Each structure stands twice: as C-alpha cells, then as structure tokens.
Amino acid sequence: MSPKQDPVPIIDYSLLTSSTVDDRLKVVQDLGKACEDWGCFMLVNHGIPETLIEEMMDASNEFFNMTKDEKLEFEAHGVLDPIRCSTGFNPDNKNKDLLWREYLRLIVHPDFHCPHKPSGFSDLASVYVKRTRTVAMELVKGVSESLGFEASYMNQELNLDSGFQLLAINYYPSRMEFDGSRGLMPHTDHGLLTLLYENGVPGLEVLRDGKWVGMSDVPNAFAVLNSDHVEIFSNGKYKSKLHRTVVKDERTRITLVNPNGPSLNTIIGPSPRLLNDENPPHYLPMKYSEYLELQTKLIMAGKHAFDKIQLQN
C-alpha cells in the first residue's frame, strides 16, 4: 500500500485578523510552514461573502456566453493590456489544440479595468477585487512576519500600495460545449501570492514530492499559491508553486484568480536583510514590468523566467 498523502495545509484567515497575540503568532508560524513546506494552502474563514462570489461566477458565465463578435472587442494584444480576452495557454493560441480554456485577464490595481458588459459585471468585479486585495495584503503581512520581518516590511519594500493586481477569470466549457481536453499546462505565476476560487468543479493540481495533488477538497476556501516573486524576495526559502489544471468533470469550470504583485516599477530581488556569507543571492534583481515581458516571451519558447535570473551559487 502506498503511504497516504499528507493533506494540503489549511490556514484560518480569521485568526490572522482578529485574534489574541498568541493566536496570531501561531497562525503566522503555520503560514510560514505552509509557504516553506508546501508552497500553497487552502484559506478558510476569509470573510468574503459567498453571495458575492456566486454573483461573480454568474456574471463571468454570462460574459463567456456572449457571442464571439461581442467578445472580440476585448481581444488580447500585449501582456500589459488592461483587458485581455483570449483562449488557450498563450495569447497567440499556440497551444490551443493541447488544452482548452477561455480567459479574461483584467488589471484591477492600481487602476481598475473591466469590460462594460454584461451589465453590472464591472461594479460587481470592482467590489470583489477590493475584498480579495484586502485578504491578499493581510496574508502578505503574515508572510513578512513569518520571514522574520515587521508585518509592514514587504509592503514598504515592494510598493504594494500601488501594487499590480490582476483578476484572471478562466472558463473551461462543459463537455457538452467542447469535446477536447480542458485545462491549463503546468506553470508558476508571477507576483507574490495568487488567490484562486473555483465554482465547485474541480481541476487545480499542485506538484508535491513529484506527484500531482488535487486542491479542490475544502469547500468555500481560496487556494493560495506562492508565486515567483515571493521565491525571489525570500531568496528561495518560499518556492513558487508549480500548478496545472485538468478538468475531468462534465460541467463548466470557472475560476476567479488574483495574482498580487509589487508595483510595476519596483526592482525586485532577494531581500538584503536575508543575505549574508552563508546565504548569497540566488536571483538577479529585475524590474517587475520587465519580468512580465520576459516571462511571456519565455513561455512561448517553453522556458521559465527563472532560467534567466537564477544564479548558480
């Protein structure tokens, strides 16, 4: 019999925000352990109303069910376009015959962008992303403390007040609508932490000890993943989490995904406060906007941006 897989860590957000000093200390320790050991966790008691999330799922479904012509207005161009609607893994659809999904990617912070249809979508999305941003910023404070810094250190160093936040909505059509493979190739995300909420149709998997493990077992929870810049800033202590999506369920899968990064102008490298003779820098510093461009180019070539910035020492 193969040994049983240990469960994905669960972090209780309510302890991070409203608890005694001891509870906070414990949850910060748990958060650090989850980021170091797993690189991901499920976030429960996040305080974002289920009704708001359901409304977002319904509005997203409505968006993707508009006609092709209606969606054409929001078609993707460059990586920094504020509104990008496309299909497949790459903006240019190179992999569309490998794995299928449609997606809408919106820059929602520091400025908010959203399609003007369907009606009400933009207002709803603006409320939703404010709530997820608050949660993400609290988590970053916890991560900062777990690395031995003050809660506000990462916020200050990385200019998170004007941080770059995206809302990516992924739509994997039902088996009735689409007959091929639905999913997303293995990848890591840019930014510090990605928050992901799914509509009850499973599919997200993370690589753990060489095996793909499902992230869909905890109801009403966000999946939270370490992203590339938490790995860079922590000098490799909190590794960016490799993940993929495989949709086997017949139903339509919709996910609301928020990558949360530093401001576009921030040059981000390993925190100087973590470096010493025993811990030399493992990554080259790079401006966040340049990293985004580089990552897009390298993905097309089947490579990872770390191939260019990781130092062999």
Ligand X SMILES: O=C(O)CCC(=O)C(=O)O
As measured in angstroms, the least distance from the Cβ of 171 to ligand X is 9
The Cβ of residue 273 has, within 10 Å, a number of other Cβ atoms equal to 12
As measured in angstroms, the least distance from the Cβ of 258 to ligand X is 10
As measured in angstroms, the least distance from the Cβ of 119 to ligand X is 25
C-alpha atoms less than 13 angstroms from C-alpha of 3 in its C-beta half-sphere? 5
Query: Which range in 5-13, 20-28, 63-71, 182-190 contacts Fe ion by CB under 5 A?
Result: 182-190
Q: Are 154 and 193 in contact (CB under 8 A)?
A: no
- Tell me if 228 contacts Fe ion by CB under 5 A: no
- Tell me if 145 contacts Fe ion by CB under 5 A: no
- Tell me if 189 contacts Fe ion by CB under 5 A: yes
List of residues contacting ligand X (CB under 6 A): 168, 170, 184, 189, 203-204, 243, 245, 255, 257
As measured in angstroms, the least distance from the Cβ of 120 to ligand X is 23
- Select the binding partner of residue 203 from Fe ion, ligand X, none (C-beta < 5 to 8 A, by kind): ligand X
In angstroms, the Cα distances linking 264 to 159, 181, 240, 290 are 9, 35, 19, 8
Looking at beta carbons only, is 194 or 271 nearer to Fe ion?
A: 194
Query: Which range in 40-48, 104-112, 129-137, 185-193 contacts Fe ion by CB under 5 A?
Result: 185-193
Q: Are 237 and 34 in contact (CB under 8 A)?
A: no
258 token code pair = 């928020």
CA neighbor of 257 nearest in space, from 193, 182, 304: 193
126 token code pair = 């603006």
CA distance 3 to 153: 40
As measured in angstroms, the least distance from the Cβ of 288 to Fe ion is 17
Which residues of this chain interact with Fe ion, rule CB under 5 A? 189
